[in-house]
Structure 1
């Protein structure tokens, strides 16, 4: 079992001081145009300094990829000064700053995009209420988006981040290319499992090449993924194990399993013998470190996850108690705040977006 106080060094040299990572969580705290706000910087700063790394909320790499209002932008050089302030706020007491980059694909709407129709691999709407039918991307647009990820990585380097995380989870565009539900293409970008992997293959190779050719030291690249979809057809664990096997051979620094429960068992009958996490770790076979997220609340949860994973990503617990990490490290679990009220919001920098997330995901801990 990995010990939570142990350091971890990635392939590209970056070292984390412990095995706890703050998970990427949507805050909706940026300005309408994607520029970082002072409130947002204060939110990150108040929760940094204790964990090994802090992964930011998703930053969109293309104007057409904006998923919601209040989202970080990284699709233009004008965002670099604000992102530099954000990176600096996170990087205190040795905590590393990782910028998560993404494109929303069909998981947005024309209101957020100010009248522009969302785009996706195919013209298939998401299975959610009031979902709009997206426009299928032209091949030239696919390459433009791939280039957007590379340029976003260059901006993250210039802003002083310690790495980027490719957000291939939670049904956004990267995952949409891999999913048989959202990708019905008949060209080189869709169809077979191998062709549905093409976008991810090009993306990872492009972003890692940018980093390796930049000359930057100790800058890492990670990839976050969701293991299964409930849509039919949809991604199944067998597809994901193929994806993980391919990615583990890439010049990435880590993989990040996105889950709401690190002990979750697959929906597929062929994979019921052990948790999804165990199948993923077995497939990686020590080629890359693995981060796992999923309802981590106690030291026992951390130690349980670290029996398999190399790093643990904590989200909601740190929203409620910004000093959760240090209290876990110091064996002061009895001092951890476990509930929130409206009166705590100002002190804890809880925005309307974060409060709405907490109301949806953990209403039992609000009072």
Structure 2
């Protein structure tokens, strides 16, 4: 046990930070249409949360093929790069630091996003998964089923690796401080890792080494392009939903951690399921991961200050990411540090819409502090 807690100073991706509160990536689906272009409202939203030790943006598709949800931003066109520059400039002006999360959804998609063509995946495996899609006739969004995908040809897999490389290069042009590869939650990289979604017989399937090949090639391509210190990855070891219950996933991710340690990446970001009956992270896995990866680990999963301090003091993590709490509380680090009340998150405004439930959440006002002081004095 150490004396590290959520408000201890630390170093993350080469930068000194005064606390360990990270803003987790949260899909908000508010890009400008057509073109999935980030905009000034996005810039306001992220700049409001610049007090985070690090902001990780919502997942952003690396190519048109990588898209799986309506209105999510991309990072593959000139217009998208310019839109993201609005965001990074606004965050940097507030003294913040921001990584973009790079995304290819794989089979978690729908033909409507691909001119009627099937989404792609490691293998053509039927699965249970839904994505959020807006009906162009009504303008209303709903969760819809994803179809059985088509399998990527071997050469297509290599092309996707290069799409990740180009997206990382675009991220630097857009002013980001680094990139986080989305390797979690049943999306394309995760699909390659698991025996339940990867039935390939070429060099990208079969053995654990082969199932790890795509992840390694993506990490290598990005690290070679922008530097390992600007490269990070998000992983979800205990995910079972979306047809992802793989009996070999834990040793596969531990082997990935050994590679990532040697590659010197900025951090690993672990998704811990946050629903009531979700699989729990085991102490054994946390210890084994730390033995393989001594660089920074970020965890995310419905933490509060007490549980965050526990995982930090045990040495299982170095930073804790917050999603919904950061959505509703743009000044979350201050509120947690001073034990101020937290605003409630409005789930109905999560996907799509305008400023309501997005950039209209308020920071804790100084006059509220004064009102509290007066109430205490009166009492």
TM range, smaller chain: 0.7 to 0.9
Residues 41 and 355 in structure 2, CA contact (< 8 A), matched pair in contact too: no
CA distance in 2, matches of 1:6, 1:29: 34
Match of 2:343 in 1: 337
Deviations 1:270-320 (A, max 9, x none): x95x26434422332x2x110000102x32233123223101101111112
Match of 1:237 in 2: 250
Query: Does the residue aligned with 1:6 lie in a helix, a strand or coil?
Result: coil
Deviations 1:164-209 (A, max 9, x none): 0000001100111111111111011110000000101111111000
Deviations 1:227-280 (A, max 9, x none): 03434545532322222222222131111101134999967xxx95x2643442
> Is it true that 1:289 corresponds to 2:296 in the alignment?
yes
Match of 2:231 in 1: 221
Residues 57 and 99 in structure 2, CA contact (< 8 A), matched pair in contact too: yes
Match of 1:81 in 2: 82
Deviates further, 163-172 or 229-238 = 229-238
Q: Could you tell me how far 1:4 is from its partner in structure 2?
A: 2.7
TM score, norm. by length of structure 1: 0.83
CA distance in 1, matches of 2:348, 2:170: 37
> Is it true that 1:320 corresponds to 2:328 in the alignment?
yes
How has the CA–CA distance of structure 1 residues 24 and 275 changed in structure 2, closer, same or farther, with 3 Å as cutoff? farther
How has the CA–CA distance of structure 1 residues 159 and 201 changed in structure 2, closer, same or farther, with 3 Å as cutoff? same
Match of 1:139 in 2: 154
CA distance in 2, matches of 1:152, 1:176: 20
Query: Does the residue aligned with 1:91 lie in a helix, a strand or coil?
Result: helix
Q: Could you tell me how far 1:42 is from its partner in structure 2?
A: 2.2
> Is it true that 1:190 corresponds to 2:205 in the alignment?
yes
CA distance in 1, matches of 2:5, 2:93: 22
CA distance in 2, matches of 1:70, 1:341: 17
TM score, norm. by length of structure 2: 0.80
How has the CA–CA distance of structure 1 residues 262 and 20 changed in structure 2, closer, same or farther, with 3 Å as cutoff? farther
> Is it true that 1:154 corresponds to 2:169 in the alignment?
yes
Residues 106 and 133 in structure 1, CA contact (< 8 A), matched pair in contact too: yes
How has the CA–CA distance of structure 1 residues 136 and 61 changed in structure 2, closer, same or farther, with 3 Å as cutoff? same
How has the CA–CA distance of structure 1 residues 232 and 81 changed in structure 2, closer, same or farther, with 3 Å as cutoff? closer
Match of 1:16 in 2: 17
CA distance in 2, matches of 1:342, 1:25: 14
Q: Could you tell me how far 1:341 is from its partner in structure 2?
A: 9.1
Q: Write out aligned runs for 1:170-209 (5 A).
A: 170-209=185-224
Match of 2:68 in 1: 67
- The higher radius of gyration belongs to 2
CA distance in 2, matches of 1:45, 1:207: 26
Query: Does the residue aligned with 1:260 lie in a helix, a strand or coil?
Result: coil
Residues 154 and 202 in structure 2, CA contact (< 8 A), matched pair in contact too: no
Deviates further, 114-123 or 14-23 = 14-23
CA distance in 2, matches of 1:236, 1:341: 31
How has the CA–CA distance of structure 1 residues 75 and 210 changed in structure 2, closer, same or farther, with 3 Å as cutoff? same
> Is it true that 1:211 corresponds to 2:219 in the alignment?
no
Residues 120 and 134 in structure 1, CA contact (< 8 A), matched pair in contact too: yes
Residues 324 and 345 in structure 2, CA contact (< 8 A), matched pair in contact too: no
Match of 2:286 in 1: 277
CA distance in 2, matches of 1:77, 1:181: 37
Task: Give the number of equivalent residue pairs.
Answer: 336
Query: Does the residue aligned with 2:263 lie in a helix, a strand or coil?
Result: coil
How has the CA–CA distance of structure 1 residues 263 and 21 changed in structure 2, closer, same or farther, with 3 Å as cutoff? farther
How has the CA–CA distance of structure 1 residues 208 and 264 changed in structure 2, closer, same or farther, with 3 Å as cutoff? farther
Give the gaps of 5 or more residues in structure 2.
131-144, 362-379
CA distance in 1, matches of 2:269, 2:277: 15
CA distance in 2, matches of 1:118, 1:311: 35
Deviates further, 304-313 or 167-176 = 304-313
How has the CA–CA distance of structure 1 residues 263 and 202 changed in structure 2, closer, same or farther, with 3 Å as cutoff? farther
Deviations 1:32-72 (A, max 9, x none): 321012322222222x2211110000111111110111111
Q: Could you tell me how far 1:159 is from its partner in structure 2?
A: 1.1
CA distance in 2, matches of 1:276, 1:263: 20
